[in-house]
Structure 1
Amino acid sequence: RFSYIFFIVFFSVILFFDSKNNVFSSLRLIQASIVITSDLLVNQTKNFFSSVYVTQTENQKMTKEARELKDKYEALLAKNFFMESNAPSIESQSMRSNLAYAKIVNFNAYKYICCGVHEMLISKEAPLFRPVLNASGLIGQLIERQGNLGKLLLLSSSKHFLPVLIGSSYCNASGKGIPMTISCSTDVSEINETIFTGQLVYTSGLGGIFPKGLKVGDVKEITLVGDTAEIVIELAADPRISPNVYIIEEA
């Protein structure tokens, strides 16, 4: 009981002196400043993380919108390529816009550079042998189904053959196993008359797979071997520019 009375008297004296002389005012100010500083830090931290979250969300939204716009733009380029190339050849207005969208899901870029067979897997099971475009033009055709995927053989593959028209001359071009390069052979008499370096090359429509009039590329080099001329063609379309591809479906 004595200690209880002592502490009451002791703290009463301290409070009396503090009220008269502000003995502990500096300590109270320090405490108050600590509390205010803590509140400010907490609020600033909350505001910072809230700002970071909002910024990330906005960036993700803008990235998604930019990707969607890019996809739409590439689809328009592919459709425009198809329509412009085939306007003189295709009477059916409905077939001009009959392009089915797909996405590249597997592409070995190393094999594309080093090896002869150039292939891709795309995210669509479509009829076999249909031609395939991307935003830059014709890149190949479907040759096989693998589950719900399609295997695409590129024009540059050593296993691919494509009937082409150069000037007024027809020839069966094959891939050279070199990126964006195919070649075909013709009689040497055709050279300098209807075939020359820089001349545009189109699909001939022979064989019934590729519509007539699709731009393939241009003549890059002509090599004479006896009575035969080997014509090297640089392809117009690069299959590496985008994951988006478009299958030319039958009307």
Structure 2
Amino acid sequence: MPWTEGKPYGSFKKILLEPASLAQEAKVLAESIAELLSLWKAESLSDAETALRFVLLHLEYRAGSRAYLKTGKNLPPKEPILPFLETARFFGMPDTVRQALWKWNAGEWDIRLVDFHPTGKEMLYSQSMGYRLTTIDWEACLSGQLVEEKRDSFEHLLHDLAHAFMFFREDYDHIGQVNFFKAMYSEFSHFETFLVSDSEFKRKFEYCISDMNSHPAHLEAYWKAIRREAGIPV
């Protein structure tokens, strides 16, 4: 949970709301979020545009006039999307989020929006196929609840986008990461039972495939280490 002793922490701490304030935000944004969800379900909006609109709705609500940083350039209209994303800089978050949204909306990165929380196997499979899943928990958003008692729905999406950036960035060898996950997925049956019987191995496995996002050499070293630790033949 991104709060400790009543204080926010993490990459997005400047734009976090206290959990007790989420219900009010949900009430204010309810109509806009419901409309956005309807358009997405009807496939009237792409995954990328839906995610962008979701981010901007929450950013503008939480940051108000500070939502967009001053860059010395005039902020263009939000339509068309790409010139806006090329120029805008978002308050309270690493620029990796904006860059991921830019690449996604430009069709350069294969990021896919889902409304569920992928299992470890689903996330592993998606990355082995070269794409990255991102989640909007619409129910948590509309009800003003935390996602899995940890993050609000806005921060959850930002977190996913930041990791998507790391998956696709050139200097982290995207193709090498995909090949690593392909090999890992092909061996899934060899370690699947350990995911059920060994909670520590499961935690480290899920970190490796979801949150680590590193160069393939580092991923491979970590993967070997946690298998040895769990007693799985390497």
Name the structure with the higher helix share: 2
| Same structural fold, with TM-score higher than 0.5 when normalized by the shorter chain | no
Rg larger in structure:
1
Task: Determine which structure has the larger strand proportion and give its number.
Answer: 1
Alignment TM class, shorter chain as reference: under 0.3
- TM superposition score normalised by structure 2: 0.23
